[in-house]
């Protein structure tokens, strides 16, 4: 379950009146990003496949922000080759290589919410 909604993601991506197919894709990238967040902070599902969020207040705001940021990355990866990101007209219209580990900055942002740390 995503922490942000497709209307908000459409606003961030500057999509006006998204089509049904675009809305489905927006929801998909939000769900994928939410799954990555849950895995990073150590959420697990119960036997029924449900999970109550132990997050509240600023914690929910943080995961919603990361959910949107990561979903934007997934959205843009659908439109460009892996490792390249279009910069758009505002930045000269060229392309730039992305970092190898595009998740690391999100993991760092979520670190205060992590429920357990692996052994090194």
Q: What is the pLDDT of residues 83-103, one digit of tens each?
A: 656 555 555 556 666 556 688
Within a domain: residue 119?
Answer: no
Mean pLDDT of the chain: 81
Q: CA 105, CA 28: separation in Å to the nearest integer?
A: 21
Local confidence band at 56 (pLDDT 50, 70, 90 cut-offs): confident
The residue range of the domain holding 71 is 6-113
pLDDT at residue 83, rounded to an integer: 60
Q: How much of the chain exceeds pLDDT 90, in percent?
A: 43
- How many domains, the chain? 1
CB 13 within 8 A of CB 86: no
pTM equals 0.72
DSSP string, 12-80: HTT-SS--HHHHHHHHHHHHHHHHHHHHHHT----TTS-------THHHHHHHHHHHHHHHHHHHHHHS
């Amino acid at each position: 379950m995503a922490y942000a909604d497709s209307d908000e993601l459409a606003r961030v991506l500057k999509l006006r009146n998204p089509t049904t197919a675009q809305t489905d894709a927006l929801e998909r990238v939000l769900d994928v990003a939410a799954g990555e967040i849950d895995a990073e902070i150590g959420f697990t599902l119960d036997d029924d496949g449900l999970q109550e969020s132990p997050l509240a207040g600023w914690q929910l705001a943080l995961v919603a922000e990361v959910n949107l940021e990561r979903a934007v990355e997934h959205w843009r990866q659908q439109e460009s080759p892996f490792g390249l990101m279009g910069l758009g007209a505002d930045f000269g219209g060229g392309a730039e290589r992305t970092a190898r580990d595009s998740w690391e900055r999100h993991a760092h942002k979520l670190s205060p919410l992590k429920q357990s740390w692996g052994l090194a």
